[in-house]
Structure 1
Amino acid sequence: MKFHLMRTVNLPTDLLRTFITVIEVKSHTRAADLLNRSQPAVSLQIKRLEDLVGYKLIRQKGRTMHVSEKGEALAMHARQILRLNDIAMGIFERPDAEANLRIGLPLDYGVRLLQNEVTTLLHDNDALRLTVNCDLSRNLHEALLRDELDIIVALYQGGTPQFLVQQWREQPVWVGATDMSPDQFDDLPLVAHPAGCVYRQRMTDALRSVERGWRVVFSSPNIDSVQDAVRDGLGFTILTTPTTQQGMRPIMSDEGLPALEPLRIGLFYRQTRLGSWGNLVAERLTQTIENVLTYPPKTGVHHNSS
């Protein structure tokens, strides 16, 4: 019996880097300046990549650039390939003399752990300069799109958002104070971040799906305030491993609250802003998230992130 190997198509990293640069700066001319190439050379590389994959990746309508659906799907993989390429080359290169990076961390997911990791990086690397912005995931996405941030960790609803490099899922759980039970209330009192938070949307969507009444009794963009309000017995909320603390208890599935959809966590960045220090920051943020996801707490064990 003969086996026929499928034809393997190798994606050249120089073509992928040009593609990512063009869609990030939304201009062939600006991309050419960043890549030290001529504008016709950049256009030719995009055409070569499109011929290689067999699909149109970028469409130009007047002065407006549109990335096709196939292009958006390729972009996430392209950033992953370039990241691995740059990390591998970093073994043989000296780090940039210094870097100024703008980092966005989510208030609504493990901000304390991620912030601690960023702080450790700063202390260990004198040449690294970071500006850190902690905010709701929605606001971080908007800031990245406005080119006000370079790297963010943020929750997202689904699909393949722009600048997504790596994605994870984590299962949120209902939590309340140790002496509180949901069956004490007709309308479930909720402790939440402001409207627009993914956690808040998950809670209210789940309660609507089972026609359970609810009311928001406490709202704050600050995760510490949300945690304090839950421990103080003001109401119930949903949290994940990095933000669950002592003084809270998970609400079991037989206590009447609806099941929750998993949360999507993403690492997003602008490839054109990264450099060797950016790769280091992205790698350490990735390791921090994966350490939490790899070692989930056992039932009844609470993590204190303070």
Structure 2
Amino acid sequence: MGAVNLSTELLRAFITVIEVASFTRAAEILGRTQPAISLQVKRLEEAVGYPLIARKGKEISLTERGEALAIHARQILRLNDLAMAEFEQRDPAARLRVGLPVDYAVNTLQACLTDVVRQFPDTQIEIRCDLSKHLLMAMRSNEIDIAVALFDGDDQQFLFRNWKEQPTWVGANAFEIPENTDIPLVAHPYGCVYRDRMATALKLAGKSWRIAYSSPGIGGVQRAVQDGLGLSCLTAPTVQSGMRTFSEQDGLPVLAPLHIGLFARQAQLGAGGYAAMDAMINTLEQRSSSAVDA
């Protein structure tokens, strides 16, 4: 049996349907009719020999094979679009909306986008920093094009790449965990993944706690920990001088790992968007390598 060549046209229809969660909306974006998009997805399913999208009323979801193909389809479309961008004139009205989490690598991710801004001076790059939960909601409502966000590990709609990182308990060097009272916590506002990790772990361990300090910015959280206001959980690159880590030996429960995802609306990305994605992927890969080496 010879190799089967996957059509980028079919793959684009497939990915666009996933991103907008609608065959009708995908048809509008791609300038086709809804039956034509349905036929393209069916042809793709016939080519690979498996159902890719499950429908339940107006709701659609990916099958297990669909999730696997989506990962490769995004990479194939990225290479295709980058190749075609070499022959296209830049759009002076191009706009790129990027979402960055306040609770993970925001400083390093902002810095890595500086070169992209210089490389694509005609592209209006807008950066929004927010809680991961809000960024994913903004992705679904088409308010941003690319986002790095912490997630539960099962969101495949816009997921392009994902990583895992282990958070750790941290406190000031001189901080002592109280024995007969609530454990003071330093956290981001309600809805933050880090805050949820701490609360869930302590609850399951039967330990009481209270929020001693809350700030939307990582800098405020770091300073509060250094000042001894309470415990928090951070990833290795955000632990600073004046802090020490705590573990099971200190009577604290193990924290569940974090899932970090790079999400993108590929149906509307240009060369600038892919350059931003590459810059953030390189940054996150370096962070991951540093964490392993440590």
Identify whether the pair has TM-score above 0.5, normalized to the shorter chain: yes
1 CA distance for matches of 2:74 and 2:263?
10
- Measured after TM superposition, the shift of residue 265 of structure 1 is 0.1
Find out whether 1:213 has 2:208 as its counterpart: yes
Task: Find the partner of 2:120 among 95, 100, 125.
Answer: 125
2 CA distance for matches of 1:8 and 1:238?
49
Task: Find the partner of 2:63 among 51, 64, 69.
Answer: 69
For structure 1, the 5+ residue unaligned runs are 1-5, 300-306
Task: Find the partner of 1:111 among 100, 106, 109.
Answer: 106
- Measured after TM superposition, the shift of residue 90 of structure 1 is 5.7
Once the two structures are overlaid, the 10-residue window that deviates more, 76-85 or 137-146, is 76-85
Task: Find the partner of 1:15 among 10, 35, 48.
Answer: 10
Once the two structures are overlaid, the 10-residue window that deviates more, 255-264 or 177-186, is 177-186
Q: 1:137 to 1:220 in 2, by over 3 A?
A: same
Task: Find the partner of 2:165 among 142, 167, 170.
Answer: 170
Report how many residues are paired: 292
- The amino acid of 1:224's aligned partner reads G
Find out whether 1:189 has 2:184 as its counterpart: yes
SS across alignment from 1:105: strand
Q: Deviation per CA, 1:201-244: give whole Å up to 9, x if none.
A: 11111112221221111112221111111111100100013322
- Measured after TM superposition, the shift of residue 245 of structure 1 is 1.7
Q: Which residue of 2 aligns with 1:284?
A: 279
Tell me if structure 2 keeps the 8 A contact 1:79–1:271: yes
Tell me if structure 2 keeps the 8 A contact 1:80–1:166: no
For structure 2, the 5+ residue unaligned runs are none
The percentage of aligned residue pairs carrying the same residue is 50
TM-score under structure 1 normalisation?
Answer: 0.85
- Measured after TM superposition, the shift of residue 9 of structure 1 is 4.9
Q: Which residue of 2 aligns with 1:97?
A: 91
Q: Deviation per CA, 1:106-136: give whole Å up to 9, x if none.
A: 0110111111112332134312211111000
2 CA distance for matches of 1:228 and 1:108?
14
Aligned-residue RMSD, C-alpha: 2.6
SS across alignment from 1:296: helix
1 CA distance for matches of 2:117 and 2:180?
47
Q: Which residue of 2 aligns with 1:302?
A: none
- The amino acid of 1:275's aligned partner reads G
1 CA distance for matches of 2:22 and 2:250?
55
